[in-house]
Amino acid sequence: MSALICGSLAFDTIMVFEDRFKHHILPDKVHILNVAFLVPKMRREFGGCAGNIAYNLHLLGGEPIPMGTVGQDFQSYRDHFSALGIRLDQVRQLDDMFTAQAFITTDLDANQITAFHPGAMMQSHLNHVRDVKGVRFGIVAPDGRDAMLQNAREFKEIGVPFVFDPGQAMPLFNGEEFRTFIEGATYVTVNDYESELLSERTGWGPSEIAKRVDAYVVTKGAEGAVIYSSDGETHIPAATPDRIFDPTGCGDAFRAGLIYGLMNNMDYATSGRIGSLCGSIKIAEHGTQNHRFSQAEFAERFRVAFGYAY
């Protein structure tokens, strides 16, 4: 069962600030903000929402089809995914542009400040959901504005259930556009901060959003997640990580687990727990695609963490 993963493929430059932002950003001076952070540790990683979700879904045994637009510098990423056996026939390369680049600074409290150059991602509307055959499920993850609008519309037109995940693209849309996304989607997933913004933009609280989709999923970091549906509120506990190294990409890992559960007709409690465990495994490693596990290893970790087998 193939899942079309629409969103960004990017290179992440991840820097670690060995202090806390709150010690250097004064709340009453943000209108004249001028700060510099010394970041002695830096890595360049494969990333982007579509790339990260596809990577984790592949580890779980799913069949992801990432769809996005990349630039002239994509070859190392292509080699990485080809070696894993992740198909790339829906990834379009534009040789006069760069692949999207994220520059992420993380402090000791796991807070993040990110600068993002979209590059070729801004042309991702050149791809079409309707042209991909054999898709059973999809996600509209952060991408170019035009592509997100188009992808959501085409998923709805061809009758393929999909997740709407606005993520970092929250600033690109107004309330009316968010309401259209929600009413066309099967599921919506956001973190708790994005949930507040979504309610502010749409005028709909979580229960009102949940009435318009099969489920509204709000992740809460170390506090787990809440899934709002016609069954009420399903509270998902956070899985305990072996260690906490890097939160970058944990949300994408959660979404991959959620998608895997939903595609395999699992209930919300189990689907959410698969997502929670994926996130906890990812946070224990640097970067967004450096963690590894076999399907058998994951199943055993799930049983130990939650007391039952999925």
Maximum separation of any 2 CA atoms in the chain, in Å: 54
Task: With residue 259 as reference, give the H or E element that holds it.
Answer: helix 250-263
Residue of 247 and 216 predicted with greater confidence: 216
Q: Average pLDDT for residues 268-296, to the nearest whole number?
A: 96
pLDDT tens-place string over residues 134-172: 999 999 999 999 999 999 999 999 999 999 999 989 999
pLDDT confidence of residue 41: 85
CB atoms within 10 A of CB 293: 16
Confidence band, pLDDT 50/70/90 cuts, at residue 7: very high
pLDDT confidence of residue 305: 97
- The one-letter amino acid code at 108 reads L
pLDDT confidence of residue 104: 84
Cα separation, 296 vs 60, in Å, equals 9
pLDDT tens-place string over residues 114-127: 888 999 999 999 99
What is the DSSP track for 152-190? HHHHHHHT--EEE--GGGGGG--HHHHHHHHHH-SEEEE
| pLDDT at 89 > cutoff 90 | yes
Question: Contact 204/180 with Cβ under 8 angstroms?
Answer: no
Sequence ranges of the domains in the chain: 2-19+43-306
| pLDDT at 110 > cutoff 80 | no
Q: Is the dihedral of CA 200, 239, 248, 217 positive or negative?
A: negative
Burial 181-198 (b: 16+ CB within 10 A, else e): bbebbbbbbbbeebbeeb
Report the CATH number of the 2-19+43-306 domain: 3.40.1190.20
pTM: 0.91
pLDDT confidence of residue 73: 96
Confidence band, pLDDT 50/70/90 cuts, at residue 112: confident
Residue 95 dihedral angles phi and psi, to the nearest 5°:
-80, -5
pLDDT tens-place string over residues 193-234: 999 999 999 999 999 999 999 999 999 999 999 999 999 999
> For 32, which DSSP code?
G
pLDDT confidence of residue 26: 77
pLDDT tens-place string over residues 256-274: 999 999 999 999 999 999 9
| pLDDT at 30 > cutoff 80 | no
Residue 29, judged by CB atoms within 10 A of its CB (0-12, 13-18, 19+), counts as exposed
Cα separation, 190 vs 166, in Å, equals 7
Q: Which of 125, 131, 128 is nearest to 147 (CA)?
A: 125
Q: Which of 137, 166, 84, 140 is nearest to 261 (CA)?
A: 137
Cα separation, 185 vs 128, in Å, equals 17
Q: Average pLDDT for residues 175-181, to the nearest whole number?
A: 98
pLDDT confidence of residue 245: 85
| pLDDT at 95 > cutoff 90 | yes
The rounded percent of the chain whose pLDDT value lies above 90 is: 85
Beta strands of 9-107 (E only): which ranges?
Answer: 10-16, 41-47, 63-70, 91-93, 100-106
Residue 121: helix, strand or coil by DSSP? helix
pLDDT confidence of residue 28: 80
